Chains A and B, each alone.
Chain A
Amino acid sequence: MAVKRFSRTIQEINQKIKQGKVVVLTAQEMTDVVKQEGTEKAARKVDVVTTGTFAPMCSSGAFINFGHTKPAIKAAKVWLNDVPAYAGLAAVDIFIGATEPTEDDPLNRVHPGQFQYGGGHVLHDLLAGKAVRLRATAYGTDCYPNRKISKKIGLADLPYAVLLNPRNAYQNYNCAVNLSNKTIYTYMGVLKPKAGNANYSTSGHLSPLLNDPYYLTMGMGTRIFLGGAKGYIIGPGTQHSPGVKRSKGGAPVTPAGNLMVMGNLKEMDPRWLMGVSMVGYGCSMALGIGVPIPVLNEEIARFTGVSDAELFTQIIDYGNDYPKGDAVSLGQVSYAELKSGMITFRGQNIHTVPLSSHTRALEIANILKGWIEKGDFFLTEPQVMLPTVDRN
């Protein structure tokens, strides 16, 4: 006899949000419920699971229109607080990237460079209500004769400012060690010689894409928490690669999917978008993202119930292998081991170091939960799903 499987739709969930009857759990809470009550009961009980991540996300930036000037200018080169922005767009449109340092930054000339200020810091300053110096130069045309402008602008002065990040929220990432004999300074943080520490950067069981490993609920148009406001997934990220090795539970054991996201910068909060300086590496931006996962069926309940002990990543040597382009796995570790503070690698106990903020990730999952419970946030139906692979 065929048993009718439990399922619900996004419309039904939104109806419950409207009625104030929706049941929302954070991914951390869901892990416990699934463990205690099983997937079927959990699926019936829980409508939405909220996730979160807060970490440096380099592939980020903003499209800004700074408004026409008098006399008019077709800006060819543009700087915001001396950070160059891409101006190869229409007259007063620019894109400012999170990792762009100030033009006169000493970079790594004295190694390791400090990278004090960059594009991510500009966006944070704008959100924090600070005015930034806009400078632009131009060659001058009949319709846009102005050749030079310099003025202070604040976020409120900008006719348009949208965060548009080509690649965020990596589903899983490497665990970095350094097998060389000297300290190295990488995008994975400071790595001491001879595997002195092991750095990792995901929020594990709270991570958006690790709770929906096959992207069954996410796609273009999914409404999310982005930088403290509501934003959207607009497609796969620039290195979205679903076809990697996965564990029995379905989660990839190496870096896999990622998201392209966008949201109105003007609605965001400086707490959830911060400029960062990775010593010896460069500028970047730490960003908060949270994705609500509708529990459409039992399978999704099982996925969202995943625990750190069931999520794995590979140990990679950033001292020799990675820079050569020959990254090979030196071993697999679970996030439960990584979060314990110590892993055993080649018979040696290594201190582990997170780069992704667990407390902030949990805070995001809770904020998103609150928004949904209060009826401030409705789920959207993704219009185009992300590329995926067959489930095993």
Chain B
Amino acid sequence: MYTKMLSLRFPPSAVNEPIITNLIRKFDLECNILKAVIYPRKEGLAVMEISGHRKNYHRGLHYLRSMGIKVESIAEDIKRDDEKCYQCGACTAVCPTGALYIERPAMAVVFDKDKCSACELCVVACPARAMEVKFNKSLLD
């Protein structure tokens, strides 16, 4: 399962296309729309969560871009909820940058935010779901 929170900016030409229906039907993706507006000049903005198989997700994204839609991730950064984190180390299996690492010999699991590339791989790999994606909420206002 692959989930991403995205902002979609539609050119006027794409506003009347059944884009969401196509994402669901043709690419087998789930779409959860958090916001959708059409501005006076017929440009549109949608903020939505898309989830599904990674392959389908990429095909769906390709389709959106082919429609002239500007797609951006609204993930700002990753933070760790230290109340939830029980310091196991499972996340260090997937972290590609070494932002999550184990300090020896105490075996404390450290999160070095400066090294984090916000790839989000740790989010589901953490059994306690302590790694959270922070979104740019200003887009939802």
Please indicate whether A and B come from the same complex rather than being unrelated chains.
Answer: yes
- The interface of chain A, by Cβ under 8 A from chain B, is 54-56, 106, 110-114, 116, 189-192, 197, 199, 274, 276-279, 284, 286, 339-341, 351, 353-360
The reply to whether B104 and A197 form a contact with Cβ atoms under 8 Å apart is: no
Inside 8 A of A111's CB, which chain B residues have their CB?
Answer: 1, 53
Inside 8 A of B125's CB, which chain A residues have their CB?
Answer: 189-190, 279
- The interface of chain B, by Cβ under 8 A from chain A, is 1-2, 51-53, 84, 86-90, 92-94, 102, 104-109, 124-125, 127-129
CB distance from B100 to the nearest CB of A (A): 10
Beyond A110-B51, A191-B93, whether A355 also contacts B88 by CB under 8 A is yes
A106 (CB) vs chain B CBs: closest residue: B1
Query: Looking at the complex, which one of B86, B92, B127 makes contact with A277 (CB distance below 8 Å)?
Result: B127
Query: Looking at the complex, which one of B53, B107, B129 makes contact with A339 (CB distance below 8 Å)?
Result: B107
CB distance from B2 to the nearest CB of A (A): 8
CB distance from A353 to the nearest CB of B (A): 4
Q: How far is the CA of A356 from the CA of B87 in the complex (A)?
A: 8
CB distance from A197 to the nearest CB of B (A): 5
The reply to whether A286 and B86 form a contact with Cβ atoms under 8 Å apart is: yes
The reply to whether A199 and B1 form a contact with Cβ atoms under 8 Å apart is: no
Inside 8 A of B107's CB, which chain A residues have their CB?
Answer: 339, 354, 358-359
Inside 8 A of B129's CB, which chain A residues have their CB?
Answer: 116, 277
The reply to whether B124 and A353 form a contact with Cβ atoms under 8 Å apart is: no
The reply to whether A190 and B94 form a contact with Cβ atoms under 8 Å apart is: yes
Beyond A339-B104, A339-B107, A341-B104, whether A353 also contacts B89 by CB under 8 A is yes
The reply to whether B128 and A199 form a contact with Cβ atoms under 8 Å apart is: no
Inside 8 A of B124's CB, which chain A residues have their CB?
Answer: 112, 114, 277, 279
Inside 8 A of B127's CB, which chain A residues have their CB?
Answer: 56, 189, 276-278, 284, 286, 355
The reply to whether A353 and B90 form a contact with Cβ atoms under 8 Å apart is: yes
The reply to whether B93 and A192 form a contact with Cβ atoms under 8 Å apart is: yes
CB distance from B24 to the nearest CB of A (A): 13
Query: Looking at the complex, which one of A189, A286, A340 makes contact with B93 (CB distance below 8 Å)?
Result: A189
Residue contacts A-B, CB under 8 angstroms, 11 given:
A110-B53, A111-B1, A113-B1, A114-B124, A189-B127, A190-B90, A199-B90, A276-B127, A353-B90, A358-B107, A360-B87
Sort A-B residue pairs by CB-CB distance and give the 9 closest, nearest first: A358-B107, A276-B127, A354-B89, A353-B93, A279-B124, A110-B1, A359-B87, A357-B88, A197-B93
Inside 8 A of A56's CB, which chain B residues have their CB?
Answer: 127
Inside 8 A of A340's CB, which chain B residues have their CB?
Answer: 104
Q: How far is the CA of A114 from the CA of B2 in the complex (A)?
A: 9
Q: How far is the CA of A359 from the CA of B86 in the complex (A)?
A: 8
Q: How far is the CA of A189 from the CA of B121 in the complex (A)?
A: 13
Inside 8 A of B53's CB, which chain A residues have their CB?
Answer: 110-111
Beyond A190-B125, A284-B127, whether A353 also contacts B104 by CB under 8 A is no
Q: How far is the CA of A341 from the CA of B90 in the complex (A)?
A: 12
A281 (CB) vs chain B CBs: closest residue: B127
Q: How far is the CA of A341 from the CA of B89 in the complex (A)?
A: 11
Beyond A190-B93, A354-B107, whether A55 also contacts B1 by CB under 8 A is no
Inside 8 A of A197's CB, which chain B residues have their CB?
Answer: 93
The reply to whether B88 and A114 form a contact with Cβ atoms under 8 Å apart is: no
Query: Looking at the complex, which one of A189, A192, A274, A279 makes contact with B86 (CB distance below 8 Å)?
Result: A274
Inside 8 A of A199's CB, which chain B residues have their CB?
Answer: 90, 93
The reply to whether A55 and B93 form a contact with Cβ atoms under 8 Å apart is: no
Q: How far is the CA of A359 from the CA of B107 in the complex (A)?
A: 6
Q: How far is the CA of A204 from the CA of B53 in the complex (A)?
A: 38
CB distance from B55 to the nearest CB of A (A): 11
Q: How far is the CA of A284 from the CA of B90 in the complex (A)?
A: 15
Inside 8 A of B84's CB, which chain A residues have their CB?
Answer: 274
CB distance from A270 to the nearest CB of B (A): 10
CB distance from B84 to the nearest CB of A (A): 8
B122 (CB) vs chain A CBs: closest residue: A190
